[in-house]
A and B are shown apart, each in its own frame.
Chain A
Amino acid sequence: MKNKGKGILRGRISRKRFLRSAVFGAGVLLSGFIDSKAFADIIEKKPKAKSMIQLWMWGGPPHLDTFDPKPAAGRDYTGNLGRAIDTNAPGIKINQALPLLAKQADKYAILRGMTHNNNGHETAAYMVQTGRKPGEGLVYPGIGAVVSYFKGQQPVYKSPLPPYITLTTPQGRFSECGFMGSKYKPFSTGGDPNREPFAVEGIVSETVNDDRQKSRKDFLKEIDSFARSMMSDPLVKVLDTGQQEAYSVILGEARKAFLLSVESKETRDLYGRNTFGQSCLLARKLVQQGVPYITINYRGWDTHKKHFEAMNQKLPELDRGMAALISELASFGLLDSTIVWWSGEFGRSPKVAWEDPWYGGRHHYGKAFSAVVAGGGFKGGTVVGKTDDTGENVVERPIYPWDLIASFYELLGIEKDAKIPNVSGPSVYANPFTAGAINSKETGGILSEIMPS
């Protein structure tokens, strides 16, 4: 059965229109592809949380040396970090290594019941960031892609900045966009915000000033005879529109969000003069621009060997940067609408490996670990879940990755029945519980104890 003759064929959606609608947002998105009700919900109900900052400790941070100290367990567990200190939240103690964060504890909740029982980087990172177990036959997108899908498109989002930004490199190891396709990948800045100038790949150039930028732009327009003569082709048009949008950022106002030099010396010092600290400052600036999802990919936590030496360098950086971020968000009045999430893919083994060849190392530990959440509606000055005396087992209120992810979605106003697109099949429920993916034995439920009722 062939369709012959123009009349029939020309009634179909043309490639031109298809491409336009596939690439550019808003009302022209293909019907059925986008869950318009979910967007309407987000606009009408005005959820508290508008943005989210993920502080991602690649490699797995040690829970005992940070937010779940066990001073009574002895040196075989605590290593050189055996003291817990009081915080400004009554009854809550954290590790001595985090004195500045101790002064902000009223603003965050410590989740000590995190567990998923997986010790492989890739799989654990996948579980923690997608809220799914591997092996369903689909590769799920990370929460950043989901949030930027619901909160990073017209008409919800209006900034020309990308809605999902990673500071400064992508995750590697697993594909953030999963089955949603590379359109939902994060934008990675590259460069180093602790360097002057901070070159942001594609946005802020290190060597080309605005005058030369404009001179190039004019010359490109003149020399690109192909574009001129082929503009009726849908893809040439898409490319041209892409270049115009790109220039609106390259030569426009929005790029100023990346200019750290406009911040005072005091502010920059407050966050710490290192890549992580300045990334935290940048994250605050991007939230001020309305960017819905920002990941700070803080590497170097996979400390099998000489763990405590590494902690001497990392924990002060973490302490300063994260404390400054939370306190500044609060003083700018942004903490109520911004979730800050600190986590890695798992914790580290509570028992220290003193022996050769580790010399004081900690290994992967997915059975029990900690995460921290602040803002966006989460109640600060609280602790959820509890581990035993050595931090090896969760004894009260387990929190599985899907419990946490579903809690985030609720605060962000992503309804339980909202769906996300799948490039190679029917769309799928974003919420792991609605999708029926969760075994009732492996959930502690969403974090209702620290969420507004």
Chain B
Amino acid sequence: MRIAALFCILLVFAFTGAPRCEDASEQEPPAELFTHFKINNHIDEIVFSELKDRMYPPSETCSDEVFLRRVFLDTLGLLPVSQEARSFLADKSSDKREKLVANLLERPEFADYLGMKWGDLLRIKAEFPSNLWPNASQAYARWVHDCVRDNMPYDIFARKLLTASGSNFRDPAVNFFRAFQERTPALIGENAVLVFLGIRPENTVFSAEQRLGIAAFFSRLGYKGTEEWKEEIVYFDPDAKPFLGPDGKEVLPRFPGKEPLSLGPDVDPRPVLADWLVSKDNPWFAKCMVNRLWYWFFGYGIVNEPDDLAGAHDAWSDELLSYLEKEFVAHKFDVKYLCREILSSNTYQLSAAATKWNEEDSDGFSHYRIRRLEAEPLIDIVCEITGVGESYQSMIPEPFTFLPYSQRAVAIQDGSITSPFLELFGKPPRNTSYLSERNSVPTAAQMQHFLNSGQIERKIEQSRPLQQLFNFRKDDKAVINEIFLRVLSRYPSEQERKLAADYLTDPKKKYNEAFFDIVWSLMNSSEFLLRH
């Protein structure tokens, strides 16, 4: 009760802010707006000083309710169950947010969620255009998942991908070299540069000649089949033909800006490339991952586009980028450490409600950036709330793949396995490694689906957990509290509870329909559909 009332007040403040004045951009923000920013770690110190320089005072720190939902969605792609929400909200300890972050990063769903994002980057897919074939995609995705789960240092992860040899089923990292329509050294090199260095093919930071030099490291790769159906061995082929450039002359492996290397015929060039690529002196390697991770959590990179580090746009803060980069290297490329630092910062925990003083801050971090939920977590949480699963299957190629009803979309390993819902809500086709393949901008067609599809309707109507709650109808207040907790991870405000109770007890409505309508409404609310 007290929490609800408090939250109600918070809502009013957080969401409306002070009265708007006509043109805030002409005035200086009052100095006191810069005095109460909480500093949780060094990230905050840098961000705060950047915001001060730009004269964008940060928004308030978000409420516990908002933080809980946000951090669950950003790390697991899941909502807290109502018991988790109750106990977190009731916890009085001052370090409960940090504790929650630490717990979430150790949960298996974290590896599913981050594994999905890696699956997008590596284009893990049975069919066109990657054509890894089902067994190999499963093996590859599982391998990536386990690397995330075990927090394999990122440099080792990259090295394993870049140097793997063996069977596509038994040494899954070799699929890195198979996920191409055409397995040419040029395309493989281009992709490695994009994925690990954040440099796009059209970018001139590397000349065409330098790119060829990188491609040459992948020119001694061989592929051969085995007796087992669709098994393929990727191997270092000492007898590979010399790699020729467009002018017909042989191109030797060569690091950008360095002399060509003449490696002996029995030397696999890939480990040599990996040494250079993951070395802490490479100016792009750590930066690329740090920026990508920041993008995953904030929906916006420190440099944008987040996979165009050498593009037209300067970093929002060079200092922030290089601090994170140094931390990452100093902690031996520990990804979870970096996640913890970012998620524990007050910067990450700012309210999404802009103030009149920072609403124009379109490329910085003065308030949390609102985004639509991604396709996979969105359908997963609908399934989670209603207890009604989805059927995912791949009819092609044979043999068909059927996944159990309890399958979460986030954890689908093979990008070829999809559903009309996932397609409609912008799941990336895994055609390329660009982060922009994922589209999370809301469209009218998506809203139509949520507002009026049989799919969503059936899930609500056939939900056993909701039915159980419905059977509890003698206590409307408890029912409404529980619906809010399950759907929005918070208690309703007094006013919301009254609105819902009036709707539920309206004599003109059937109780069961009114009950479904309330669940339906909360699921169609922007608070539900958006990450905030």
List residues of A whose CB falls within 8 A of some B CB.
Answer: 1-6, 9-10, 12, 14-16, 18-19, 22-23, 121-123, 126, 134-135, 137, 139, 162, 169-170, 172-175, 177-179, 181-183, 185, 187-188, 190-191, 199, 201-203, 205-208, 212-213, 215-216, 219-220, 222-230, 232-233, 235-236, 238-243, 245-247, 249-250, 423-426
Bound Cα distance A190, B457 (Å)? 14
Among A19, A181, A249: residue with most chain B CB under 10 A: A181
Known: A205-B452, A205-B453. 5 other contacts (CB 8 A): A139-B429, A202-B451, A208-B457, A225-B493, A226-B527
The residue that A247 contacts in the complex, of B55, B354, B451, with Cβ under 8 A, is B451
Per-position 1/0 for B490-527, Cβ under 8 A of A: 00010110011001000001000100011011101111
Contact A216 B448 (CB under 8 A): no
Residues of A within 8 A of B461 (CB): 207
Nearest-Cβ distance from residue B384 to partner chain A, whole angstroms: 20
The residue that A229 contacts in the complex, of B15, B396, B499, with Cβ under 8 A, is B15
Contact B420 A235 (CB under 8 A): no
Contact B352 A181 (CB under 8 A): no
Answer whether residue B11 sits at the interface, using C-beta atoms and an 8 A cutoff: yes
Residues of B within 8 A of A191 (CB): 454
Contact A213 B452 (CB under 8 A): yes
How many B residues face the partner with a CB closer than 8 A?
88
Per-position 1/0 for B435-464, Cβ under 8 A of A: 011010111111111111111010001000
The residue that A227 contacts in the complex, of B418, B443, B525, with Cβ under 8 A, is B525
11 contacts between A and B (CB under 8 A): A18-B362, A121-B397, A134-B181, A173-B128, A202-B453, A205-B452, A230-B15, A239-B442, A249-B448, A424-B437, A426-B202
Residues of A within 8 A of B447 (CB): 239, 242-243, 245-246
Contact A207 B457 (CB under 8 A): yes
Contact A15 B453 (CB under 8 A): no
The residue on A at minimum CB distance from B305 is A424
Bound Cα distance A183, B425 (Å)? 9
Nearest-Cβ distance from residue B491 to partner chain A, whole angstroms: 13
> A135 with B429: in contact, given A173-B128, A233-B352, A233-B354 (CB under 8 Å)?
no
The residue that A235 contacts in the complex, of B353, B424, B442, with Cβ under 8 A, is B442
Residues of A within 8 A of B362 (CB): 12, 14-16, 18
Contact A2 B317 (CB under 8 A): yes
Nearest-Cβ distance from residue A320 to partner chain B, whole angstroms: 26
Answer whether residue B292 sits at the interface, using C-beta atoms and an 8 A cutoff: no
The residue on B at minimum CB distance from A14 is B362
Residues of B within 8 A of A135 (CB): 181-182
Bound Cα distance A425, B305 (Å)? 12
Residues of B within 8 A of A18 (CB): 362
Residues of A within 8 A of B371 (CB): 235
The residue that A182 contacts in the complex, of B426, B521, B532, with Cβ under 8 A, is B426
Contact A185 B424 (CB under 8 A): yes
Answer whether residue B16 sits at the interface, using C-beta atoms and an 8 A cutoff: yes
Residues of B within 8 A of A178 (CB): 431
Bound Cα distance A172, B392 (Å)? 12
Residues of B within 8 A of A224 (CB): 521, 524-527
Per-position 1/0 for B121-132, Cβ under 8 A of A: 000000111010
Bound Cα distance A173, B527 (Å)? 34
Bound Cα distance A399, B472 (Å)? 68
Residues of A within 8 A of B275 (CB): none
Answer whether residue B423 sits at the interface, using C-beta atoms and an 8 A cutoff: yes
Bound Cα distance A159, B354 (Å)? 36
> A122 with B454: in contact, given A15-B362, A216-B520 (CB under 8 Å)?
no
The residue that B499 contacts in the complex, of A137, A201, A223, A232, with Cβ under 8 A, is A223
Contact B457 A203 (CB under 8 A): no
Contact A246 B431 (CB under 8 A): no
Contact B503 A5 (CB under 8 A): no
Residues of B within 8 A of A230 (CB): 15, 352-353, 370, 526, 532
Bound Cα distance A203, B457 (Å)? 13
Contact B202 A425 (CB under 8 A): yes
Contact A14 B15 (CB under 8 A): no
Residues of B within 8 A of A216 (CB): 517, 520-521
> A225 with B127: in contact, given A121-B396, A181-B437, A202-B453 (CB under 8 Å)?
no
Bound Cα distance A389, B107 (Å)? 65
Contact A6 B526 (CB under 8 A): no
Answer whether residue B372 sits at the interface, using C-beta atoms and an 8 A cutoff: yes
Bound Cα distance A243, B521 (Å)? 12
The residue on A at minimum CB distance from B503 is A219
Nearest-Cβ distance from residue B273 to partner chain A, whole angstroms: 21
Residues of B within 8 A of A181 (CB): 436-437, 439
Residues of B within 8 A of A201 (CB): 420, 449, 453-455
Answer whether residue B150 sits at the interface, using C-beta atoms and an 8 A cutoff: no
Bound Cα distance A235, B443 (Å)? 11
> A212 with B11: in contact, given A14-B362, A178-B431 (CB under 8 Å)?
no
Answer whether residue B187 sits at the interface, using C-beta atoms and an 8 A cutoff: yes
Contact B436 A246 (CB under 8 A): no
Per-position 1/0 for B369-383, Cβ under 8 A of A: 011100000000000
The residue that A6 contacts in the complex, of B54, B420, B424, B453, with Cβ under 8 A, is B54
Bound Cα distance A395, B104 (Å)? 66
Contact B352 A190 (CB under 8 A): no
Contact A250 B451 (CB under 8 A): yes
> A206 with B454: in contact, given A230-B370, A424-B434 (CB under 8 Å)?
yes
Nearest-Cβ distance from residue B33 to partner chain A, whole angstroms: 14
The residue on B at minimum CB distance from A204 is B452
Answer whether residue B335 sits at the interface, using C-beta atoms and an 8 A cutoff: no
Contact B432 A202 (CB under 8 A): no
Contact B370 A223 (CB under 8 A): no
Contact A212 B513 (CB under 8 A): yes
Contact A202 B532 (CB under 8 A): no
The residue that B518 contacts in the complex, of A187, A199, A219, A239, with Cβ under 8 A, is A219
Answer whether residue B282 sits at the interface, using C-beta atoms and an 8 A cutoff: no
> A423 with B517: in contact, given A2-B318, A213-B452 (CB under 8 Å)?
no
Answer whether residue B146 sits at the interface, using C-beta atoms and an 8 A cutoff: no
Residues of A within 8 A of B14 (CB): 229
The residue on B at minimum CB distance from A216 is B517
Bound Cα distance A373, B285 (Å)? 53
Contact A6 B431 (CB under 8 A): no
Bound Cα distance A178, B129 (Å)? 10
Contact B396 A212 (CB under 8 A): no
The residue on A at minimum CB distance from B531 is A235
Bound Cα distance A208, B129 (Å)? 41
Contact B426 A123 (CB under 8 A): no
Among A2, A5, A134, A425: residue with most chain B CB under 10 A: A2
Nearest-Cβ distance from residue A29 to partner chain B, whole angstroms: 14
The residue that A126 contacts in the complex, of B55, B128, B457, B513, with Cβ under 8 A, is B128
Residues of A within 8 A of B101 (CB): none
Residues of A within 8 A of B529 (CB): 239
> A3 with B314: in contact, given A170-B420, A223-B522, A239-B529 (CB under 8 Å)?
yes
Bound Cα distance A191, B454 (Å)? 9
Answer whether residue B53 sits at the interface, using C-beta atoms and an 8 A cutoff: yes
The residue on A at minimum CB distance from B370 is A235
Contact A2 B423 (CB under 8 A): no
Contact A139 B521 (CB under 8 A): no
Nearest-Cβ distance from residue B481 to partner chain A, whole angstroms: 14
Residues of B within 8 A of A228 (CB): 15
Nearest-Cβ distance from residue B312 to partner chain A, whole angstroms: 12
Residues of A within 8 A of B129 (CB): 134, 139
Answer whether residue B25 sits at the interface, using C-beta atoms and an 8 A cutoff: yes
Contact A175 B453 (CB under 8 A): no
Residues of B within 8 A of A249 (CB): 444, 448
Nearest-Cβ distance from residue A161 to partner chain B, whole angstroms: 10
Among A173, A219, A235: residue with most chain B CB under 10 A: A235
> A243 with B451: in contact, given A175-B429, A181-B437 (CB under 8 Å)?
yes
Answer whether residue B84 sits at the interface, using C-beta atoms and an 8 A cutoff: no
Contact A169 B420 (CB under 8 A): yes
Bound Cα distance A187, B443 (Å)? 12
Bound Cα distance A247, B449 (Å)? 11
